[in-house]
Amino acid sequence: MTASAAAPAVPALQDSAFLRACRREPVPHTPVWFMRQAGRSLPEYRKVRAGVPMLEACWRPDLVTEITLQPVRRHGVDAAILFSDIVVPLKAVGVDLDIVPGVGPVVAEPIRTAADLDRLRPLEPDDVAAIAEAVRMTVAELGPVPLIGFAGAPFTLASYLVEGGPSRNHEHTKALMYGDPVLWDALMRRLAGITAAFLRAQIEAGVSAVQLFDSWVGALPATDYVRQVQPHSAAVLSAVGELGVPRIHFGVVTGELLGHMGDAGAEVVGVDFRLPLDEALQRIGPDRAVQGNLDPAALFAPWEAVAERTRAVLAAGRAAPGHIFNLGHGVIPETDPGVLTRVVDLVHEESAR
């Protein structure tokens, strides 16, 4: 099956609950998907990943397709999200990095000087041909189920590059940001260009929406975010705006930043689990849909507690002009996948009433 063979499915796809919610249109039920739904919580994922390094898996269209489809088959979620990693576009432009199990992305030579910027060339479509192929294959398999493309936002990518890996305090990143704003700006511009090109490649290959993840942005006070980060996230979102797919923007620990993240230009703002959706809405304003925000740790409680909290998220989301149910952060690897399936069913049942 090719992407063009799937063309008859497009009307159903555009009419899906997920895309309707993104567009703030009435929905038959609240759509639901889970950040990191394709991943270690699923035994079928662990099986296909066995012996395959993470970055190798991201570049194999057959594996990407299979892994992306697994949670759709198992949970009946309303959207798939492309299996990939935040550092894929960096690897694609030749940055020497690897994903070390138990650690995360490790960059061989951190970027901290103007000369280091030369290692960040623009991303060309050919650099991510395998990812585009994976998108086409996955879209063909999904039929009327929307596929969400994704990319890490410039700040989060910058943190990995400047620190050389995951960081608790982001001290080298902040030292650069606060100490050399000109170099910081140049770095962020390059990353925004790479990120926009990566999202464009996914959209042109057929994803129905994109999510821009800014995992670490909650480490910043709002004033610094607005001055030194938001313009670059906005540039990414703006660069893909003409392509017409809904854009979701999410970060963790973003209570103070939500309004500004909404202003960056996405149609949907993802909300961290710390803030009820109705309060989040007051910060985001009425012109955006919201996505979230069940606490992924709450899934470890007995079912009745999970159900109560799921209902509370749905109730708070009713105030929104569009609500996509999700977790307030990614699925924790040790999560019982059976609980995720029950949450999908409960969201569908409760919201269809």
Residues numbered 57-116 forming contacts with a second copy, rule: CB under 8 A = none
85 given a catalytic annotation: yes
326 prior amide bond cis, ω within 30? no
Separation between Cα atoms, residue 316 and residue 43, nearest integer Å: 33
**50 phi-psi bin (left φ>0, alpha ψ -120 to 50, beta other):** beta
**CA 251/CA 292 separation, integer angstroms:** 11
CB 116, CB 188: distance < 8 Å:
no
Using rule CB under 8 A, residue 166 touches a second copy: no
The one segment of 18-26, 113-121, 317-325, 326-334 that binds a second copy by CB under 8 A = 326-334
Judged by beta carbon, residue 61 or residue 255, the one nearer a second copy is 255
Asked if 311 is an active-site residue, the reply is: no
Near a second copy in 270-309, by CB under 8 A: 273-276, 295-302, 305, 309
Q: How far is the CB of 109 from a second copy (least distance, A)?
A: 19
Exposed e or buried b for every residue in 299-309, given b needs 16+ CB within 10 A?
A: beeeeeebeeb
Contact between 293 and 313 under an 8 Å Cβ cutoff? The reply is yes
Active site residue 40: yes
Q: Which is nearer to a second copy, 8 or 102 (CB)?
A: 102
Using the rule CB under 8 A, is 221 a contact of a second copy? yes
Query: Taking Cα atoms as reference points, which of 63, 59, 60, 61 lies closest to residue 46?
Result: 63
Shortest Å distance, C-beta 166 to a second copy: 11
In the list 1, 7, 52, 175, the residue contacting a second copy (rule: CB under 8 A) is 175
CA distance 184 to 240: 23
**Least distance to a second copy from the beta carbon of 350, Å?**
19
* Nearest in space to 244 (alpha carbons), one of 6, 23, 7: 23
36 is known as an active-site residue:
yes
Q: Which of 3, 9, 239, 253 binds a second copy (CB under 8 A)?
A: 253
Residues that bind a second copy (CB under 8 A): 169-175, 178-180, 218-223, 253, 255-256, 273-276, 295-302, 305, 309, 329, 332, 334
Residues taking part in catalysis: 36, 40, 49, 85, 160
